[in-house]
Chain A
């Protein structure tokens, strides 16, 4: 977990290929309040471009993206 970001809910999407990461996150983000932050873990390389595209379209915000080995971590703030 990143030091400066308070995470309200974690979604482990490791091993799931397209389109599951965005499908799960678009549903999952509704489980937190507006303004809260979720952390999504994905091993899908396509998620690197898919998550920003999803965020731009849906109006949510990716605060930070981290990559450790094969795992990509997204910190996403629910804006809508």
Chain B
């Protein structure tokens, strides 16, 4: 075989390999956090922080009921219409107001679970959020939900890797992730 032929085959192989490596998923865990329940979001944070420990990147896309708890309790913004005000008042503001998906029993079950978690040294949602920030877990917040429920960017928590985005931005990450979850 002549040298030129080998060279052209090599170039072709190389470009094929480049194209292939772009398609290979990264060591990344992408999840949709749809739920705003204490227990489910807790699970999401355990997986996200665990993923970082396993050497993966972690992305959490908060949408629908999940979005509400990312509001900062200490912040308040004006200029909302009546529907937005109602939604704002009825949904948990901040991680501390989230409830269990089961056995809430008018808040008693949630209080019991929280005290049990403390006793068993299980990190609280507040601690998980702090830890996630420190570990570089990225949080995406769904713009459509923000608009639908009348949340404003100014009332959301301060978090280093927080991004307001739409579904395409999430799917870009998810398509490149080995692990994808919906919680």
Q: List A residues at the B interface (Cβ < 8 Å).
A: 15-20, 22-23, 25-27, 53-54, 57-58
Q: List B residues at the A interface (Cβ < 8 Å).
A: 46-47, 49-50, 52-55, 120-123, 131, 135
Q: How far is the CA of A6 from the CA of B127 in the complex (A)?
A: 34
A-B contact count (CB 8 A): 36
Chain A at the B interface: SS class: helix
Minimum C-beta distance from A42 to chain B (A): 12
Chain B at the A interface: SS class: helix
Specify which chain A residues have a CB less than 8 angstroms from the CB of B50 in the assembled complex: 18-19, 22-23
Contact A17–B122 (Cβ < 8 Å): yes
Q: How far is the CA of A15 from the CA of B123 in the complex (A)?
A: 12
Contact B121–A16 (Cβ < 8 Å): yes
Q: CB-nearest residue of chain A relative to B117?
A: A17
Q: CB-nearest residue of chain B relative to A53?
A: B54
